[in-house]
Amino acid sequence: MMSAAESVLGINSPPRFRQHERRFLRAGRWLLWLTIVLAALGLFGEGLLSHADTSNADASLHLRYERFLRRGLETRLNLQLRSPLDPRQPFTLWIDRASFDRMQSLRITPHPLAMSLTEDRVFLELEEPASDDARHVAIDFQAEESGPATLSLGLKGDAGVTVTQFVFF
């Protein structure tokens, strides 16, 4: 007959139960190591995979963005624009309408002079003096939906760039 202590500790538990318990513990260890590796690579914040850069075909637009976003947390798109246009003149940036509707825009720096909407795009007229042969735009936003999110943006008259970000939680 098994004592109360042996029964609680599972010392004399059936072999089939111990086999299932070992499988469960092994799977838990793998899941723990996978979480640690993904965190180190940047899935949950800063890391090797967390940031990415892309440019359009003629390199007039350079975008730095985060690959992984948390729903409801603020993130930033950094744009660097190199343009043959007069650096003292305003310029127009477009964002895909579907992308714009999926995010809550918090701040656009420099502040847009004008904004217009079409069925498929949002146009922002901006004025930012060129520094070191480039113009800089920052868009702070919060993603509102979980899952993969595609974002397209560019300069007026340009094909632009398209990136995919993953929004979790």
Interval 42-92: pLDDT, tens? 666 667 777 889 998 888 889 999 988 888 889 999 998 876 666 677 889
Strand partners, 62: 55, 80
Q: Do 110 and 29 belong together in one domain?
A: no
Q: Do 137 and 94 belong together in one domain?
A: yes
CA neighbours closer than 13 Å in the CB half-sphere of residue 167: 20
How far apart are alpha carbons 107 and 68 in whole angstroms? 20
Domain of 128 in residue numbering reads as 51-168
Q: What is the pLDDT of residue 13?
A: 74
Please give the torsion angle defined by the CA atoms of residues 129, 137, 96 and 159, in that order, rounded to the nearest 10 degrees: 60
Establish if 46 belongs to a structural domain: no
- Note the pLDDT tens digit of each residue in 122-146: 999 988 776 667 788 999 999 888 8
CA angle 101, 155, 89 (to 5 degrees): 120
Number of domains observed in the structure of the chain: 2
- Note the pLDDT tens digit of each residue in 5-21: 555 555 677 888 888 99
Residue 107 near residue 117 (C-beta atoms within 8 A): no
